[in-house]
Structure 1
Amino acid sequence: MLPVKRFVEFIGQNKLFTPANKILAAVSGGMDSVLMAHLLKAAGFNFSIAHCNFNLRGPEADADEEFTRQLALQMGVSFHTVKFNTQQYAADNRVSIQMAARDMRYRWFDEVSQSAGYDVIALAHHQNDTIETILLNLTRGTGIAGLHGILPKNGNLVRPLLFLTRNEIQTIIAAEGLTYTEDASNASVKYARNKLRHQVIPILKELNPNLEATFESNLRKFRELEMLLNREVDGLKKKLLLIEGNEVHISINEIEKLSPKRLLLFKLLYDYGFSEMVVDDLITVLGRHPGRVFESAGFTLLVDRGRLIISPKASVKDKAVSISPRDTNVGYNNYKLTVLHDDSPLIVKDNPLAVSVDAELLVYPLTLRAWQQGDTFYPLGMKTRQKLSDFFIHQKVPLHQKDGVPILVNGNGDIIWVGGYRLSERYKVSDNTKKVTIFELYKL
C-alpha cells in the first residue's frame, strides 16, 4: 500500500507545499521519481511531470523519455521534456558530465517553473541520498553546512521523499507492482557517489544496521547546531560590520575578541567569498601587517590600521574619457567633471574637488582616466617629479581606492591633476596667467 498518509504528513511538517500549489515533479523514470509521481497523484496534489533527456545513453535515454511521457498520459497530467547536448556543454564549460547535467537540469526546471507558473519543483531524493551527500562532503572537506545533508526545502526546490529509505522505496515499488526504468550507469562505480553507494555504505551498514535512522538523528542535531551558529553570526554582523558607502569596515580589536576566532571570522566573511585558507592567512597578519590585501572573486579585503576594509572589485578599470575644448561636463566612474573657462585668473580654494589651471598650458583633447603603473607628476609645492604610486602611499590612499581616483591628463601626456588630491605644480595659476580653466568634480 502506498504510504500516502506518511507522505502528506512529511509535506505538512516541513511546509513543502499545499493542495493549492502547482507542482513541477522532476521524473527521470527511475524507481524513486516514479514513486514520487504516484504518491503525488494518490494524495490529490496538482502536479505536472518534467523529464530531461541528456543524450548520454542513446536509445536507452529516448526510451526513458517515452516512458515518462506515457506515465504523464496515464496520470492525466501535463508533460514537459527537453533534450540536452550534455557532452558539448561539459566541454565548453570545462566541467564534469555530472556537473553539466546538474547545471542544465536545474536551469531548465527554473525556466519551465517561471514560464508555466509552478510554485515548487519536486525532486525525488530520499534518506540514502542524504547519507551519500554527507559522506561526499566530508571526503572533500566541508563546513557545518555540509553536514546538514539534503534539506527538505531549499527555495522553490522540495524533496517530499526524504522520509523514506532506498530499501523502503524498493519494497513499496515491488508491493504495488509499479513499473520504472533502470539507468545502467547507476551500477557503475567510476562515479564517486556510486562508489559510496555500492562499496562504502554496505560496510557501514554492517557496523550499524540502523545507519539511516542514526544519520537522520544526527542530521537533526547538525541542523539545530547550524541554526544556533547562524543566529550568533547574525548578531555579530549587526554589531561588527559597519557600512561606509560601498565598503564594509570591521574593527580588528573586535575580531581579536572572537572565540572561536577562525570559525566566526570565516562566517563573517563568507558572504564576500573569502575561503578558509584566506581566513587562516588573515589571522596571522591581523594587527601586525597593515597594507596586506586579500581577494575573493568579487571583493578585496584590505588590512588597514585597526580595521579590515572590504570593498567590491571593479571588474575592469573605467574607460578613459576624452575632453574637448567645447565640453562643459563629462561623466567618469562615479563622478561628473565640470569644465568652466574664465577670463580672470581665479584661484579655487578650500575645495579639494576643484582646481584652477592655467588655460594656456592645456593641450586638447584632455583625458580623464584611472592611474597607471609608471605614472609620475609634479605635486603642487614640489619641484621634483614623484611617482603616482608613491604619492598615493604618502597620502595614505587605501589600495582598494586607487583605481577609483580620476586622473586628469593633458594632451601632451602630463598629469594635470590627481582628482581630489593634488594639482600639478606645472599647471598652477601664476602671476603671468591670463586665463584659467576650472575643473570641478562632483561625486555621484
Structure 2
Amino acid sequence: MCRFCTVQALERKVYEFIREHSLFAPRDVVLVAFSGGPDSTALAEILARLRSLLNIELLLLHLNHRLRKEESDRDETHCVRWAEERGLPIIVERRDVEAFCRLERLSLEEAARRVRYEVFEACRMAHGASCVALGHTLDDQAETVFMNIVRGTGLPGLCGMRPKEGVYVRPLLGVRRREVREFLEREGISFVEDSSNLDLRFLRNRIRHRVFPLLEEINPRIVEALARLSLNAWEALALREERNFPLVWGHEGGGIPLDALLLVPPSERPWLVRQFLREVRGTLWDVTRGQIEDILRLVERRKGEVVLPGKVWVFVQGGYLWASSSPLPLVDMPSWSFPLYFPGVHTFPDLGVALEGRFAPFSGEVRGLVWREALDYGQCVLPLVLRNFREGDRMQWRGKERKLKELFEEWGIIREWRRLLPLLCDQEKVLWIPGLALDERVRVQENSKSILHVELRRCKG
C-alpha cells in the first residue's frame, strides 16, 4: 500500500495545502513553534506523521514566556515529555517577557510577539533550520482580518496572513479550529490549555469570545467569508504589485525618485510609499497611517525627515525619497571648507549641522549618537577643517591608505551623496567621515596624551 493511502483526512488536507503553497522543499529542517496548545500540538503531530512523505526533518521549539508562573512551567514540562514520547528533538527557551515589556514600554501582547519572533529567528539560525512552522488556523486568519478592519486597515491588512511569509510557514491556515480539536480528541493526543486565551484584556480574545459568536448568528460561515475576503484582497493587491517603481539602493537603505511619486494620482501615493517602505524595511506592521501621511508631506515639500519605528530615517535628498537605518549627515551645498578650533561648538546654519569638540580622557568606547567619535589630537596636522569631498582624498583604512572614492564604492555610497558628506580633516588627510569611518592613524592608543571628542549633530538653519 502506498504511504499516502494510509493518511487520515486532516493529514491529507494539510498535506495538499503544503503542496499547493510549496511550503517545504525536500530535506528542509523545519523548526516547529510548539506551545503545547491544541493548534501547535496538531501541527507537530501531523508534520511528524507526514515527515517521511515530505522528506523533511523536524525540530520543536518551546518558548516559556514566564507570564503564567506555575502554568508556564507546567506547559514546558508537558512539551518536553510529549516530544520525548515521540522521539522528536526539542529546544526549550525561557524569556522574561514582563521585564522586556517594562524596559521597552510596550503592551504585553506586543512585547510577547517581539520576543517570540526574536527567539524564532535566533534558534532558526543557530540550528540551521530552513523555516519556522506556525500553528495559525483559518479561524486565526478570520480574527486577524476582522481585527485589521476594526483598526481601519487598508488593502494589505485585509489580506491577513499568508501561508508563506519569508521563512515563516502556516500549514494549518486552511483548517478550522474545530477540525483541530476533533482530530486531537479522536486520536487521543494530549495538549495543554493556555488560561491567557480566556483573558478578555486582550483584543483578540474579546473578538474571539464576544464578537464572533454574534457574527455567527448573522452568518454561520463568517470565518469562511472573511477568509474569502482575504483571498480577494490578495488578488487585488497582486494586480497592484505588478506595477514596478524605480528603486535605487544606497548606504543601508533605498531611494525612490520624487517625480515617480508626484506623477501618480494623489490617491495612489500612499500605496506607493508603503510598497517602497516594505522593500526597504521588509515589514509595515508598525508603520501607521499618520506616518505615511507625514512622509507624503515630505514629498510635497521636497524636504524634511520622518523617523519610523526601529530607527529608520525617511528623508528627502537630491530629488529622491530615501529610507535608511543608518542615515548620513548630508549637506546640500557647493564646494565648502570651514576652519575649526577646539574646545568649543561650531554651528553652521547654512549646512544645517553643528560640530562640538572637547578634550577629555578616553574611557575605552564611544557611547551614544551615531555621529560621535574620539581621536588622538596629537596625530593631527593643525588646523582642522570641516569640508566636503575632493578628488584624491585618502584615509588609512584596514592597514592601507585608500582613496575615498574606492571606499565609497565598497560601502555602497551612491555618487550623488559623496560630495554631500561633511568630512573632518587636518591639513594632510581625512580624519573622520561621520557615520562611516575614522582614519586609523588618529585612533586613540594607550599612549595617546590629548584626546579630542567630537560630535556632529543636525541643527535648524
1:16 offset after TM fit, Å? Answer: 0.7
Per the alignment, in what secondary structure is the counterpart of residue 260 of structure 1? helix
Which stretch of the first structure deviates more once superposed, 254-263 or 181-190?
254-263
Q: Is the 8 A contact 1:138 1:146 kept in 2?
A: yes
The aligned residue for residue 85 of structure 1 is: 96
Give TM-score scaled by structure 2 length: 0.64
What letter is aligned with 1:302? V
The aligned residue for residue 20 of structure 2 is: 13
Q: Go from structure 1 to structure 2 and tell me whether the alpha carbon gap of 1:407 and 1:75 turns closer, same or farther (over 3 Å shift).
A: closer
The aligned residue for residue 32 of structure 2 is: 25
Q: Go from structure 1 to structure 2 and tell me whether the alpha carbon gap of 1:60 and 1:278 turns closer, same or farther (over 3 Å shift).
A: closer
1:174 offset after TM fit, Å? Answer: 2.1
Q: Go from structure 1 to structure 2 and tell me whether the alpha carbon gap of 1:9 and 1:327 turns closer, same or farther (over 3 Å shift).
A: same
Of 272, 287, 299, 2:313 maps to 299
1:322 offset after TM fit, Å? Answer: 7.5
Q: Go from structure 1 to structure 2 and tell me whether the alpha carbon gap of 1:196 and 1:406 turns closer, same or farther (over 3 Å shift).
A: same
Give TM-score scaled by structure 1 length: 0.67
Q: Is the 8 A contact 1:27 1:51 kept in 2?
A: yes
Q: Is the 8 A contact 1:252 1:286 kept in 2?
A: no
The aligned residue for residue 404 of structure 1 is: 421
Map 1:177-216 onto structure 2 (within 5 A).
177-216=188-227
1:264 offset after TM fit, Å? Answer: 4.1
The aligned residue for residue 72 of structure 1 is: 83
Per the alignment, in what secondary structure is the counterpart of residue 24 of structure 1? strand
Q: Is the 8 A contact 2:298 2:316 kept in 1?
A: no
What letter is aligned with 2:145? I
Per the alignment, in what secondary structure is the counterpart of residue 178 of structure 1? coil
Q: Is the 8 A contact 1:242 1:248 kept in 2?
A: yes
Which stretch of the first structure deviates more once superposed, 164-173 or 277-286?
277-286
Which stretch of the first structure deviates more once superposed, 93-102 or 317-326?
317-326
The aligned residue for residue 290 of structure 2 is: 277
What letter is aligned with 1:171? E
Q: Go from structure 1 to structure 2 and tell me whether the alpha carbon gap of 1:62 and 1:258 turns closer, same or farther (over 3 Å shift).
A: same
Q: Go from structure 1 to structure 2 and tell me whether the alpha carbon gap of 1:105 and 1:317 turns closer, same or farther (over 3 Å shift).
A: closer
Map 1:85-164 onto structure 2 (within 5 A).
85-164=96-175
Stretches of structure 1 that go unaligned for 5 or more consecutive residues are 340-397, 411-444
Distance 2:256 2:112 in 1: 40
What letter is aligned with 2:313? F
What letter is aligned with 2:421? G
Per the alignment, in what secondary structure is the counterpart of residue 61 of structure 2? strand
Distance 1:87 1:333 in 2: 48
1:125 offset after TM fit, Å? Answer: 0.7
Per the alignment, in what secondary structure is the counterpart of residue 242 of structure 2? helix
| Larger Rg, first or second structure (1 or 2) | 1
Per the alignment, in what secondary structure is the counterpart of residue 151 of structure 1? coil
Distance 1:253 1:281 in 2: 18
Distance 2:96 2:295 in 1: 43
Report sequence identity in percent.
24
The aligned residue for residue 456 of structure 2 is: none
1:310 aligns with 2:317: no
What letter is aligned with 2:98? Q
Of 169, 173, 183, 1:172 maps to 183
1:11 offset after TM fit, Å? Answer: 0.6
The aligned residue for residue 401 of structure 2 is: none
What letter is aligned with 1:174? E
Distance 2:202 2:219 in 1: 24
What letter is aligned with 1:57? R
Q: Go from structure 1 to structure 2 and tell me whether the alpha carbon gap of 1:186 and 1:243 turns closer, same or farther (over 3 Å shift).
A: closer
CA RMSD of aligned residues (A): 3.8
- The count of corresponding residues between Structure 1 and Structure 2 is 344
1:40 aligns with 2:47: yes
Q: Go from structure 1 to structure 2 and tell me whether the alpha carbon gap of 1:295 and 1:323 turns closer, same or farther (over 3 Å shift).
A: same
Which stretch of the first structure deviates more once superposed, 85-94 or 123-132?
85-94
Per the alignment, in what secondary structure is the counterpart of residue 51 of structure 2? coil
Deviation sequence 1:211-257 (CA, Å, 0-9, x none): 1221222221111111111121xx2x12xx56799984624486144
Q: Go from structure 1 to structure 2 and tell me whether the alpha carbon gap of 1:19 and 1:39 turns closer, same or farther (over 3 Å shift).
A: farther
Distance 2:139 2:426 in 1: 65
1:206 offset after TM fit, Å? Answer: 1.1
Q: Is the 8 A contact 1:26 1:51 kept in 2?
A: yes
Map 1:308-387 onto structure 2 (within 5 A).
308-310=320-322, 312=324, 313-314=327-328, 316-317=370-371, 319=373, 327=381, 335=389
1:139 offset after TM fit, Å? Answer: 2.2
